[in-house]
Amino acid sequence: MATEAAHGAEEGSSLVFHPMDQFIVKPLFGGSEVHWYTITNVTLWMGISVLAILALMVLATSGAKRIPSRGQSIAEMAYGFVYKMIEDVTGKDAVKFFPYVFTLFMFIVFSNLLGLLPMSFTPTSHFAVTIVLALAVFLTVTIVGFVLHGAQFLGLFWVSSAPAAVRPLLALIEVISYFVRPVSHSIRLAGNMMAGHAVIKVFAGFAAIAAVSPVAIIAIVGMYGLEILVGFIQAYVFTILTCVYLKDALHPAH
Amino acid sequence: MATETHDAVEGAAHAAESAGMPQLDFSTWGNQIFWLIVTLVVIYLILTKIALPRVGAVLADRAGTIANDIAAAEELKQKAKEAEAAYDKALADARAEASRIVEATKAEINEELKAATAKADEEIAAKAAESAKAIDEIRAGAAEAAETVAKDTAAELVAALGFTPKDDEIEGAVSERLKG
């Protein structure tokens, strides 16, 4: 009885409830200490992202043909997608930020999609990564805003079209929302990635139980399709919000 | 065995620390942030040094080619229109020229016809005059012949009546009667 219970517990712990293990940062070459310079699975999957981006944006476009190959078409589509987004949302004068925004988009979309490979690691499911990305955007917006407009940038918080009486209150709300931006910006991305991957892992755990395994496997297939969509959408959302925030830096007037 | 135990202890410690969420294990943040910055810098350099100028150039080249082709097509269309107009003009000119030639030819033919008619009229008149003259001659000849016949007849009649005809008398009488 006792052994059975122990056995059951062991099985349960090894098969069912480890949905978060996939997010553990591990050194690749032995050891357990994770120093800042340690080569970990984070390094590996970020490196794979870099290689994938290199393959798509450099190798596939190496012909630079007027009539594009399939790979070049995809690269051009990604370029046009982000370029049009920044032009439409932020404005024509914002295209100087295009390489920056495109870097963010490519890194996020490739991390999200590569993270869907079995046994892979998703850097964008970590707050450490997304907070750095979001803070980079936040700092860029703030610094560019003050450099371009000086103290006038603070007009962003002073809604001059509102009645004078409510302006201080609105200013307070605007300031709070401004500083909440990097938090929501980063937690949205990491939360979506983490939740989707964890849910897939939970379903995978249930798949070990014969009675529900068909349902669990169908659910995994469905979730997987959904997660591909979410991977794209979250990269798109992060990028378009970056464009919206950059618009505040370039054109702070309401 | 010792290291294994050490690992296990360490792992347990980490697990406890992160309360089941590796995302909140702050001991790995430095590592992730370091590699993230390296990755972003590498991607940024790849994109700005190679990929984006290349793709941008290809897109600009394609847009330029399309614009040029459209402009060339526009130009050809214009040329075709001009050619059509020129053709129409040439056709109209040719028609006008043809009708002018027809008019001129008609006038010329009329002129010639008139001349020919006049000439024919003249010839006919001449012929008619000639014929009239010939008729007159014949008529004169006939009168003379009639006179001769009359004289002969008269002489015969006179002879038949038993007289000796006298030529000058008969001639005078016949001439007188014929004149009458």
Asked which of A13-17, A178-182, B120-124, B145-149 is least confident by mean pLDDT, the reply is: A13-17
Does residue A151 surpass a pLDDT of 90? no
The answer to whether B43 contacts A37, with C-beta atoms less than 8 Å apart, is: no
**Taking the CB of residue B44, how many other CB atoms lie within 10 A of it?**
18
A229 in any annotated domain: yes
Residues whose CB falls within 8 Å of the CB of residue A101, separated by 6 or more in sequence, listed in order: A82, A85, A86, A239, A242, A243, A246
| Domain extents in chain B | 15-179
* Helices and strands, number each (H, E), in chain A: 7, 0
The answer to whether A106 contacts B36, with C-beta atoms less than 8 Å apart, is: no
CA–CA separation, A231 vs A113, rounded Å?
6
Measure CB to CB from residue A35 to each of B31, B48, B59 and give the nearest one.
B31
Does residue A81 surpass a pLDDT of 70? yes
Please check whether residue A206 touches B, CB under 8 A.
no
Q: ipTM, 2 decimals?
A: 0.86
Domain coverage including residue A204: 12-250
pLDDT of residue A74: 94
Please check whether residue B13 touches A, CB under 8 A.
no
Please compute Rg for chain B using Cα positions.
68
The answer to whether A128 contacts B58, with C-beta atoms less than 8 Å apart, is: no
A132 in any annotated domain: yes
Task: Supply φ then ψ for residue A40, to 5 degrees.
Answer: -120, -175
Measure CB to CB from residue B35 to each of A42, A64, A103 and give the nearest one.
A42
A62 in any annotated domain: yes
Neighbouring-strand partners of residue A27:
A40
Locus of tokens 């847009």: B63
Measure CB to CB from residue A76 to each of B6, B11, B55 and give the nearest one.
B55
pLDDT of residue B101: 95
A2 in any annotated domain: no
A7 in any annotated domain: no
Residue-wise pLDDT tens digits, A100-113: 999 999 999 999 99
Measure CB to CB from residue A23 to each of B11, B23, B42 and give the nearest one.
B23
Question: Which residues, numbered 34 to 63 in chain B, qualify as contacts with chain A under a Cβ-Cβ cut-off of 8 Å?
Answer: 34-40, 42-44, 46-48, 50-52, 54-59, 61-62
Q: What 3-state class would DSSP assign to A60? A: coil
Please check whether residue B128 touches A, CB under 8 A.
no
DSSP letter for A92, please: G
Please check whether residue A29 touches B, CB under 8 A.
no
pLDDT of residue A37: 87
- Which of A80, A85, A91 is CA-nearest to residue A248? A91
Measure CB to CB from residue B22 to each of A25, A46, A129 and give the nearest one.
A25
Looking at the complex, report in whole angstroms how far the Cα of residue B76 sits from the nearest Cα belonging to chain A: 23
CA–CA separation, A190 vs A181, rounded Å?
14
pLDDT values of chain B reduced to their tens digit, one per residue, 180 residues: 444 444 444 444 444 444 578 888 888 899 999 999 999 999 999 999 999 999 999 999 999 999 999 999 999 999 999 999 999 999 999 999 999 999 999 999 999 999 999 999 999 999 999 999 999 899 888 888 888 888 888 888 888 887 777 778 777 877 787 776
For chain A, strand residue ranges (E) read none
Determine the straight-line distance between the first and last CA of chain B, rounded to whole angstroms: 188
Does residue A8 surpass a pLDDT of 50? no
Looking at the complex, report in whole angstroms how far the Cα of residue B12 sits from the nearest Cα belonging to chain A: 12
Domain count for chain A: 1
